[in-house]
Amino acid sequence: MAEGLKIEIVSPERLVLSEVVQSVTVPGTEGYFTVMQDHAPFMTTLRSGFITVNGTGGTNEVYFVKGGFADVSPEGLTILAEESVPFSEFDHAGLTTQIKSAEAELAAAASPEERTFAQEVVSGLLNLAAEAGQINGTHIH
């Protein structure tokens, strides 16, 4: 393998990214984690968030990921995403629509269980919107 970490981001529609990089920061279900070359193997689930890819030339690229799995192996990092696009293709207007819809579901929730679930969805979407608003060319966790 070339010097660096091999990363592949795969969505159902396409291969989003395949290259050798310095490091990758990923939104795991339990929080963000960073992977570099020779990282210990593990597998985890992902939450919706932004992947920061630190290239070997010192450039950073950001990708949106909506859920999925990350597999770190001796061969590198493979991300199997429910949905993934470069940040430049991220649908900010669609996120605003999702937030409004989730807030309406929260307001209409009849049981405590429905309210709890709806509140978690609203909170997750609001956090995603806040994070997207902070990205301006570089993304540091």
Residues 104 and 76 in one domain: no
Q: Both 116 and 56 in a single domain?
A: no
Q: What share of the chain is helix, strand, coil (3-state, %, to 5)?
A: 30, 45, 25
Are 44 and 13 within one domain?
yes
Q: CB neighbours (10 Å) of residue 127?
A: 13
Q: Which domain holds residue 59?
A: 5-88
pLDDT computed for residue 1 by the predictor: 44
> Could you report the per-residue pLDDT of 1-40, keeping only the tens digit for each?
458 999 999 999 999 999 999 999 999 999 999 999 999 9
Q: What is the mean pLDDT of the chain?
A: 88
Both 70 and 126 in one domain: the answer is no
54 pLDDT above the threshold of 80: yes
Q: Find out whether 17 and 53 touch, Cβ atoms under 8 Å.
A: yes
Is 54 found in the same domain as 36?
A: yes
CA distance linking residue 54 with residue 24, whole number of Å: 6
Are both 115 and 75 inside the same structural domain? Answer: no
